[in-house]
Structure 1
């Protein structure tokens, strides 16, 4: 199986960040919406497996299916562009700017939100037969997840907020490692295996992923969870986005760039051993 060494991997990461900055608004939002939908369908699948089998590890092992598919199809997540886009600016790629990065992040956030909320609405309808009955075991589990990961943090005050933030940092260390792992090989099976490993770890450990949460908490609210939209934004989504940002940029993108990126240096001009003598 082919393997791309870290020094070459960083070059691919910079190319990917530069490419994403050059996408049109339409393509950026569409790719993000599809990415958010596929990822959150994978989350719904993993929760269903966990509830029906009682095996959380099995759910975590199967969760990366959506993640792997979305990146193989060229879609995007906010967590990934947090890591890749700044590298294009640091490497001084033409057209890369702070304004362009902020625009990309905003559009991908919007697209991921559209995809994730759409899946939340569809799954809530499926769990309740169009809101005509109480949700079953899987729907009740979704409802409880939303409560525990908002009000549950709030009950611990500053300590809860710190825990939430650090879980978000650790999440994107793993998820962004999964994103760039797809660039470590040109072989389809190798890409899938490399992405699967860190993403399984993140899901099983209960780390906080901003896009997955765009599904979990709206779904919980639709299913009658005992928390508010304000609770969700203040005690989950906003701190999670900030933690994902720090984890992706600092501990994945910059760490690899600083230690492995070696910009090409033009060769020094060849000089002759003895000075040239002017010909008269």
Structure 2
């Protein structure tokens, strides 16, 4: 039973278990639709973030930290939309489903099914926003904005494999924190705050979110990056996704499972 201020860590752990069980009971159709819109919503947050940064060249030049702080503030909108509309996001599931599977509340097969379908659905949603709602809609309608779309995409890919792997770990640690704390909130304002702060923090830190990158990088590729699909897959998709998995399981599941006494 929740108090006025929310649930205890023990109570939140119990709610996380119930959330994981509910995810594995979704039909293929529901999971696919929820996952598509999960990718759409995350990418809308990325789109607004990109518009703010791309449209502020003077501020990026004079005070890059402030520009990042302001633009990062709008990005969590996507996570709030996913949570409050009950859509599916693979990176959240990389925390929730291993949490329940380690307790033997869900099977490895059911977990694998959910993660595979949600990942593919999220990717489709992100690419839809990149192609239809951003590029074809000409939302980035100046040379300055399109140039920055290319620059930020190249900055996400043209780094060491290990760097993107570690940035993926950091990202999903914050995602796990946001998901866990949001379950403990009993009304919308508290839920929004518990989501907003950790997600805002990971964007400021420059950590990498595998699903968001399916919007942030392709939108730059549409305008002419110095890399192709192969490098995008090897230098970004693979290390960031693996990092998100490690961040969700090692930094998320293991400590939070202790709250439930499940790791025996």
- Normalising by the residue count of structure 1, what TM-score does the alignment of the two structures yield? 0.85
Does residue 80 of structure 1 match 2:92?
Answer: yes
Does residue 167 of structure 1 match 2:167?
Answer: yes
**CA distance in structure 1 between the aligned counterparts of 2:44 and 2:164, rounded to whole angstroms:** 23
Aligned length: 249
Give the deviation of 1:50 after TM superposition.
Answer: 2.0
- Counterpart for residue 228 of structure 2: 228
Instruction: Spell out the pairing of 1:1-280 with structure 2 (5 A cutoff).
Output: 1-53=4-56, 54=59, 55-93=67-105, 96-122=106-132, 123-127=134-138, 136-150=143-157, 152-153=158-159, 160-258=160-258, 260-262=259-261
Q: Any gaps of 5 or more consecutive residues in structure 1?
A: 154-159, 264-280
**CA distance in structure 2 between the aligned counterparts of 1:2 and 1:74, rounded to whole angstroms:** 22
Give the deviation of 1:128 after TM superposition.
Answer: 7.5
SS at match of 2:261: coil
Q: Bigger CA drift: 139-148 or 65-74?
A: 139-148
Give the deviation of 1:126 after TM superposition.
Answer: 2.5
Q: Pairwise CA RMSD of aligned residues?
A: 1.6
Q: List, as ranges, runs of 4+ consecutive aligned residues in structure 1 with deviation greater than 4 Å.
A: none
- Normalising by the residue count of structure 2, what TM-score does the alignment of the two structures yield? 0.90
From the CA coordinates, give the structure whose radius of gyration is larger: 1
**CA distance in structure 2 between the aligned counterparts of 1:143 and 1:127, rounded to whole angstroms:** 15
Give the deviation of 1:136 after TM superposition.
Answer: 2.8
SS at match of 1:193: helix
